């Protein structure tokens, strides 16, 4: 019975009448109103007659507001993003999230009044598919509204609702002044300079509807890795120049980049379609420093080689090279990387002249190798 009453009271409180704070009106589809009215009738028939005691019941337990509601306006769509609430209004954990109601109000730009009440209609019922019995994860949810027209002002509110269909507090309104976005940036290029990635593109001079753009066009650059989607732009402030420099966070990773033009219209930033995506295999290209102070000592069991140990970050090991005399090509002697800063060459033949060198190798995917150390010359003879 408590479950039934909570559902009825929730529908009556949040969807049928205008809110007390701003006089905005919410409209539900007819079938939802009929369900609510039937539930009220059943409740009155069962418990309305002869009931004594306190006529006031406690408020239903409903979710708090969704978090971080944002909008991004692009050609042909307005994208909404938000995070699920993790608490109920009474402070308890939200363990039965069932979905989100997305409401929208629309006005013509010439009729827009920021302070006036407006009528919201249910745009979409977004069902939550996460596990029950635990707080929602901190992931972001999104919805793409494609039923938009230039010259309109849209306002969005999002409510979370629980398994009893009790609707939570409203987040918003998020208002979008929708109009023509800028054209897509052409000729998008990428150049790598050691750690630095330099992105550049041709400036945008037209809007998506063909009109000439003014000098207010700005830009946002986006980066993602292969398993992720584009989220927030890399630049916190819109760029005025058609150029951006980036240092990615990690080597040995494949990154993808794109750029969007930005036009400020009233209080809304309108983004263009994304430029053709560029891929960057961001491998470490810098070899370790060359080992120093190599020495060679003739011993009965072979030629003992020693050098100064390396302590730099990302170091993997050493390679030993040898050639006969002081001409010809150096040949690598060790089949696997050496971890110690000494090695015994047991393959050296006595009464032969050799020249040795050592290199350092890092632990990157490319296994960058340093230049040869200063060679040491040895005539292998043991008394």
pLDDT in the model for residue 232: 85
Distance separating alpha carbons of residues 80 and 154, to the nearest angstrom: 12
The answer to the question of residue 290 being in a domain is no
The verdict on residue 365 lying in a domain is yes
The reply to whether 117 falls in a domain is: yes
Q: Is 248 part of any domain?
A: yes
Q: Which domain holds residue 81?
A: 2-178
How large is the average pLDDT for residues 83-107?
Answer: 96
For residue 260, the model assigns a pLDDT of 96
Q: Is residue 47 located within the same domain as residue 125? A: yes
More confident residue, 373 or 226: 373
Give the mean pLDDT of 283-290: 91
Do 106 and 63 fall within a single domain?
yes
Element (H, E) at 382: none
CATH number at residue 96: 2.60.40.10
Query: How are strands ordered across the β-sheet holding 196-200?
Result: 189-193, 196-200, 243-246
Do 37 and 153 sit in the same domain of this protein? yes
Distance, CA of 88 to CA of 6 (rounded, Å): 14
Q: What is the pLDDT of residue 348?
A: 94
pLDDT band at 3 (very low <50, low <70, confident <90, very high): very low
pLDDT in tens, 296-309: 999 999 999 999 99
pLDDT at 30: 60
pLDDT at position 137 is 86
Contact 162, 98 (CB under 8 A): yes
pLDDT tens, position by position, 207-235: 999 999 988 899 999 999 988 888 889 99
221 with 153, same domain: the answer is no
HSE-up (13 A, CA, CB side) for residue 260? 23
- DSSP letter string over 15-69? IIS--TTT--EEE--HHHHHHHHHHHHHHHHHHSSS--S----PPPP-B---EEE
End-of-domain residue from the set 260, 282, 304: 282
* C-alpha atoms less than 13 angstroms from C-alpha of 222 in its C-beta half-sphere: 19
Q: Both 82 and 104 in a single domain?
A: yes
Task: Enter the DSSP assignment of 12.
Answer: I
Q: Are residues 158 and 203 in the same domain?
A: no
Distances in whole angstroms, Cα of residue 202 to Cα of each of 187, 212, 259: 6, 15, 11
Domain co-membership, 141 together with 205: no
Q: Which residues pair with 348 in a beta bridge?
A: none
Residue 366: band (very low, low, confident or very high) from pLDDT cuts 50, 70, 90:
confident
Any domain includes 59: yes
Domain annotation covers residue 289? no
Q: What pLDDT is recorded for position 49?
A: 46
Question: Quick check: is 287 in a domain?
Answer: no
Cβ-contact 319, 358 below 8 angstroms: yes
Q: Which of 155, 178, 201 is the last residue of a domain?
A: 178
31 and 97 part of one domain: yes
Q: Strands 218-225 and 67-74: what pairing?
A: unpaired
In angstroms, the Cα distances linking 264 to 73, 176, 179 are 11, 11, 10
* Alpha carbon separation from 71 to 117, 184, 268, 284 (Å, rounded): 21, 20, 9, 37
**Interatomic CA distance for residues 59 and 1, integer angstroms:** 14
Higher pLDDT, 7 or 74: 74
- What's the mean pLDDT in 7-20? 37
Q: How far, CA to CA in Å, does 228 sit from each of 225, 246, 257?
A: 6, 18, 12
Which secondary-structure segment (H or E) carries 120?
strand 119-127
Q: Which whole number is the average pLDDT over 327-351?
A: 94
How many structural domains compose the chain? 3
Considering the entire predicted model, what is its pTM? 0.68
Q: Are residues 338 and 222 in the same domain?
A: no
> Are 29 and 162 in the same domain?
yes
Looking at the fold, whether 94 and 205 belong to one and the same domain comes out as: no
Domain boundary among the residues 125, 158, 178 is at 178
- Tell me the three state secondary structure of residue 320: strand
Query: Based on the domain organization, do 312 and 371 belong to the same domain?
Result: yes
pLDDT at 257 over 80: yes
Compare 127 and 21 and report the one with higher pLDDT: 127
| In the chain, % of residues over pLDDT 70 | 85
């Amino acid at each position: 019975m408590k479950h039934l009453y909570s559902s009825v009271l929730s529908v009556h409180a949040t969807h049928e009448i205008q809110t007390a704070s701003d006089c905005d009106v919410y409209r539900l589809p007819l079938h939802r109103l009929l369900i609510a009215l039937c539930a009220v009738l059943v409740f009155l028939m069962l418990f309305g007659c002869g009931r004594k005691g306190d006529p006031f019941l406690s408020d239903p337990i409903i979710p708090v507001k969704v978090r971080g509601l944002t909008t991004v306006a692009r050609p042909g769509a307005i994208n909404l993003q938000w995070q699920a609430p993790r608490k109920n209004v009474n402070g308890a954990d939200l363990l039965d999230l069932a979905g989100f109601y997305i409401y929208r109000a629309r006005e013509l730009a010439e009729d827009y009044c920021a302070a006036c009440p407006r009528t919201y209609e249910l745009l979409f019922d977004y069902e939550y598919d996460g596990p029950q019995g635990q707080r929602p994860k901190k992931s972001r949810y999104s919805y793409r509204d494609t039923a938009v027209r230039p010259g309109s002002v849209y306002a969005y509110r999002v409510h979370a609702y629980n398994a009893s269909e009790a609707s939570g507090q409203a987040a918003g309104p998020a208002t979008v002044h929708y109009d023509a976005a800028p054209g897509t940036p052409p000729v998008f290029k990428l150049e790598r300079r050691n750690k630095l990635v330099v992105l550049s593109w041709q400036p945008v001079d037209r809007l998506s509807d063909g009109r000439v753009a003014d000098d207010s066009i700005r830009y946002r650059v986006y980066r993602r890795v292969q398993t992720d989607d584009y989220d927030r732009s890399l630049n916190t402030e819109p760029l005025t120049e058609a150029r951006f420099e980036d240092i990615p966070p990690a080597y040995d990773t494949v990154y993808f980049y794109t750029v969007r033009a930005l036009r400020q219209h009233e209080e809304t930033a309108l983004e263009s379609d994304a430029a053709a995506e560029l891929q960057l295999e961001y491998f470490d290209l810098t070899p370790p420093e060359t080992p120093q102070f190599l020495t060679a000592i003739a011993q009965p069991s072979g030629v003992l080689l020693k050098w100064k140990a390396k302590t730099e970050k990302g170091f993997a090991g050493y390679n030993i090279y040898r050639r006969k005399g002081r001409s010809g090509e150096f040949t690598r002697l060790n089949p696997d990387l050496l971890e110690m800063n000494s090695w015994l060459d047991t393959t050296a033949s006595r009464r032969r002249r050799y020249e040795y060198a050592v290199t350092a190798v890092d632990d990157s995917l490319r296994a960058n190798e340093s230049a040869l150390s200063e060679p040491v010359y040895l005539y292998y003879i043991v008394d």
